[in-house]
Amino acid sequence: MDCQYLPLASTGQFSSLFLDYITNKDSLKPFYGRFPDIAAFEGQINDKTFGEANRRVLVDALERQYQHIAVKPDVSTLLQPNTFTVTTGHQLNIFSGPLYIIYKLITTIKLARKLKETYPAYNFVPVYWMATEDHDFAEINHFSLMGNQYVWETEQRGAVGRMNPKELKTLFAQIPEKLALFEEAYLKHDTLADATRYYVNELFGAEGLVCLDADDAALKRVFAPVMRDELTHQQSGELVNKRTEELAALGYKTVIAPRDINLFFLDDQLRERIERREDNTYQILHTKQTFSESEILNLLDEHPEKFSPNVVLRPLYQETILPNLAYIGGPSEVPYWLQLKSVFEHYQTPFPILMPRNFAMYVPSVSAKRVAKLGLTPEQLFQDTLTLKREFVDNHTRHTLKFDNENKTVNKALDAILHKAQMVDPTLERAVLAETKRFADAVARLEKKMRRAEERNQEVGIRHLLAVKNELFPNGGLQERSDNFLTFHLNDRQFLQKMLDAFDPFDYRMQLCLQ
């Protein structure tokens, strides 16, 4: 597979905050710990301490979660003090969701491999943090395959990881392709979390990838001291707001807005915010449930699983229950982590190394041949359609489509006419200028007509150009944010292996992978 590379800044697809981070801009250094290069991990390893008791809790939880999977990664290595994790996370998008989720998993696997090569005295386990507690069903209930979108409709509510996926049986009847892996996952498991673990393990378990469901009472108990502090003192929101203001002062737009209490109440069919009222009682929004301070703290002690960190505290939860060194995130995740460093400092927890995931565009063989025949560069592919089409016509025409030389001659003559008219009568200037503008407008109209005529002459080439553009940028956006990996995997069973071979976790460029 031939790979070409393009700086992310050249694609026009990423925020200034993300781009400035990956180029190691000095003004952003106070907002994170170590910059993501291979040498930084030595210091991160030395800083990360993770006790034997917490390792046992983690391994016990993973063994419970994997108990019904026959062939699985060996999680017992996490009991060893020289074993660390590198982690990515995402929602449980059905059928794996858009391509970039697969790319996050592959980047994490490749990072663990690279670290083992560089630091052979240690072990590194790639972890997929399944966002099982997320309740934004509309973000995960659809996927796109071969240009068609399929949607899961349900009356289930609350944390998506607890939902029963057997309802997806109706989707299999709509999908022309036979998807045996996902039928096994969704129709033979009782929760979306279990189903997702099953198919991710089938895809990447042999590469050592471990799936973690943090919706677990034992894991929550480890994090309970932080949740108690959040309920009683509400400090995380103030810390994040201060960082947000500092980023705004540098001209950056931020992603997350904290709450006073950055916890949800979690129960069957329910995940709702917790608010502290003026009378110091706690209200579960959109319900009739209220608690006194002593009642809610007792509930936390007895049932920590009923409390769920939101986006502000979830990263801290992750770093509390994992011996983690790095978080691999996308162009929206890395920026919001930059708002959180002071929360980590407050709780005396090492801030992980923030690793951008790999970015890629897969170009199937038919499109690759068209790209080569059309003579398109990677930079041109990322231009907007109008600019790309204009440049293509200009580069392939045998004619001159603009009257630049003629305009220079005519404008020189018009200047002479204007000068003569002014000599006779200064008030004639307006009339001459009006005629000059009418002439310029007529020339512009004629140029447009000539361009349209030339586009008709180049109709076949333009049609191929737009076909490539539409295939690689479905709905006008990046392929990886829309297409599902099955679009390519069903036609090329080596697709995932090819991407595993191609990715370098420390290469922060857009990668064009030509089949």
Listed in sequence order, the DSSP H helices in 48-128 are: 52-65, 99-118
Question: Per the structure, how many domains does the chain have?
Answer: 3
For the segment 148-152, the average pLDDT, to the nearest whole number, is: 95
- d(CA 338, CA 330) in angstroms, rounded, equals 13
pLDDT for 409: 76
Residue 241 above 70 pLDDT? yes
pLDDT for 132: 98
- d(CA 133, CA 161) in angstroms, rounded, equals 6
pLDDT band at 211 (very low <50, low <70, confident <90, very high): very high
Amino acid (one-letter) located at 473:
F
Domain match, 337 and 378 both: no
- d(CA 152, CA 479) in angstroms, rounded, equals 22
pLDDT for 411: 74
pLDDT for 421: 78
pLDDT for 454: 62
Of the residues 268, 288, 307, the one at which a domain ends: 307
Block residue for tokens 């500092």: 246
Full residue range of the structural domain in which residue 77 is found? 2-217+311-361+495-510
Block residue for tokens 């991710």: 200
Domain match, 291 and 175 both: no
Domain match, 91 and 213 both: yes
In a domain, 168, yes or no: yes
Instruction: Tell me how long the chain is.
Output: 515
pLDDT for 410: 72
CA triple 427-428-429, angle to 5 deg: 90
pLDDT band at 461 (very low <50, low <70, confident <90, very high): confident
Residue 123 above 60 pLDDT? yes
Of 332, 359, 353, residue with least CA distance to 478: 359
- d(CA 61, CA 75) in angstroms, rounded, equals 10
Residue 476 above 60 pLDDT? yes
User: Both tokens of residue 366?
Assistant: 């038919």
pLDDT digits (tens, 9 = 90+) for 293-342: 999 999 999 999 999 999 999 999 999 999 999 999 999 999 999 999 99
Of 286, 469, 506, 326, residue with least CA distance to 385: 469
pLDDT for 395: 72
pLDDT for 425: 80
pLDDT for 116: 98
Domain match, 479 and 500 both: no
pLDDT band at 389 (very low <50, low <70, confident <90, very high): confident
Burial grade of 168 (CB within 10 A; 0-12, 13-18, 19 or more): buried
Domain match, 321 and 410 both: no
pLDDT for 424: 80
Give this prediction's pTM: 0.90
pLDDT for 18: 98
In a domain, 196, yes or no: yes
Domain match, 148 and 254 both: no
- φ, ψ for residue 135, nearest 5 deg: -120, 10
pLDDT for 43: 98
In a domain, 489, yes or no: no
Choice between 496 and 476, residue whose per-residue pLDDT is larger: 496
Question: Distances from the Cα of 248 to the Cαs of 224, 242, 379, in angstroms?
Answer: 32, 10, 31
Mean of pLDDT over the chain? 93
Domain match, 183 and 248 both: no
Count of H-run helices and E-run strands, the chain: 21, 15
For the segment 246-259, the average pLDDT, to the nearest whole number, is: 96
In a domain, 488, yes or no: no
- d(CA 119, CA 39) in angstroms, rounded, equals 10
Helix/strand/coil for 101: helix
- d(CA 30, CA 218) in angstroms, rounded, equals 34
Percent of the chain at pLDDT exceeding 90: 78
Domain match, 331 and 442 both: no
Burial grade of 436 (CB within 10 A; 0-12, 13-18, 19 or more): middle
Choice between 373 and 7, residue whose per-residue pLDDT is larger: 7
pLDDT for 15: 96
pLDDT band at 515 (very low <50, low <70, confident <90, very high): confident
Residue 243 above 80 pLDDT? yes
Choice between 397 and 187, residue whose per-residue pLDDT is larger: 187
In a domain, 515, yes or no: no
Q: Put the strands of the sheet holding 210-213 in their side by side order.
A: 210-213, 123-130, 83-90, 324-329, 353-356
pLDDT for 172: 95
pLDDT for 305: 98
Question: Distances from the Cα of 302 to the Cαs of 246, 263, 437, in angstroms?
Answer: 39, 17, 81
pLDDT digits (tens, 9 = 90+) for 396-448: 766 665 666 776 777 787 788 778 778 888 887 888 788 788 877 777 787 67
Question: Distances from the Cα of 96 to the Cαs of 75, 101, 205, 247, 484, in angstroms?
Answer: 23, 7, 15, 33, 7
Stretch among 177-191, 355-369, 445-459 having the lowest mean pLDDT:
445-459
Q: Put the strands of the sheet holding 307-309 in their side by side order.
A: 290-291, 282-284, 270-276, 263-267, 307-309
Burial grade of 405 (CB within 10 A; 0-12, 13-18, 19 or more): exposed
Q: Which residues have a Cβ under 8 Å from the Cβ of 303 and sit 6 or more positions away?
A: 217
In a domain, 478, yes or no: yes
Domain match, 302 and 315 both: no
Domain match, 355 and 286 both: no
Specify the pairing of strand 282-284 against strand 270-276.
antiparallel
Domain match, 119 and 37 both: yes
pLDDT for 140: 97
Stretch among 56-60, 113-117, 452-456, 462-466 having the lowest mean pLDDT:
452-456
pLDDT for 115: 98
The CATH number of the domain holding residue 113 is: 3.40.50
Block residue for tokens 């004619």: 399
Specify the pairing of strand 290-291 against strand 307-309.
unpaired
Domain match, 287 and 322 both: no
Helix/strand/coil for 26: helix
Burial of 171-200, coded b for 16+ CB within 10 Å and e otherwise, reads: beeebeeebebbeebbeebebbbbbbbbbb
Q: Which residues have a Cβ under 8 Å from the Cβ of 70 and sit 6 or more positions away?
A: none
